[in-house]
Structure 1
């Protein structure tokens, strides 16, 4: 197994989301891998946690990455968050991402959780994806 493809996968996911017209129409450039210091937009996308497990086989080294992309908003209700979450899902489901190291075998949506946060003043939708990578 190798964790070495993790950075390349994250960069490719960030690039795909940043290049998606449907998503950027909703959130602009507010796609982050860390919440910026200071004032944040009312609606943004945040790359989140990742769990990786061994998936090597006879063809070579590989891993399965389960990672979260969150949509967070202070807008009232879930409407804007669900629109952005749908765009994230559409952009990543079965995406053919080019990685700077290794290769992407598959990328699938697994599940989502929508909840109120910050004493119900904000909304967050956590989308979980599963990526199978091979370290060529």
Structure 2
């Protein structure tokens, strides 16, 4: 098992989301923007990695969160963007700088109101299987 492909996966996710046509007007970040961000935006968030090596070679399962954060009234805008994120990533064949993506699947999503300012946040959790 190796954590070696984590940076390559993050870079590929960023490229895919930033280039996705339905997200053209939505900023994609891998860190909280200064001031906490305004409008609707996408955040590449936390990741958990576990060993899934077998007799054929090394591998890792990456469970990562992509968040949609919006200060728009209601959940409609956040859900529209979350659906586009899901469409962009489900079964995507991302080219990685290290390792080979075997599969990418949506696992679950959670939508909630944030206490500060009434913003909405949707966390989408995905699983990527990578051979290293």
- Give the TM-score normalised by structure 2: 0.96
Match of residue 74 from structure 2 = 77
What is the CA distance between 1:119 and its match in structure 2?
4.0
Match of residue 109 from structure 1 = 106
Please give the root-mean-square deviation of Cα atoms over the aligned residues, in Å.
Answer: 1.2
User: Unaligned regions of 5+ residues in structure 2, if any?
Assistant: none
Match of residue 5 from structure 1 = 5
What is the CA distance between 1:40 and its match in structure 2?
2.1
Q: 60, 63, 67: which one pairs with 2:60?
A: 63
Give the aligned length: 132
Moved over 3 A (4+): none
Deviates more, 1:89-98 or 1:111-120: 111-120
Match of residue 40 from structure 1 = 37
Secondary structure of the structure 1 residue equivalent to 2:44: strand
Deviates more, 1:70-79 or 1:119-128: 119-128
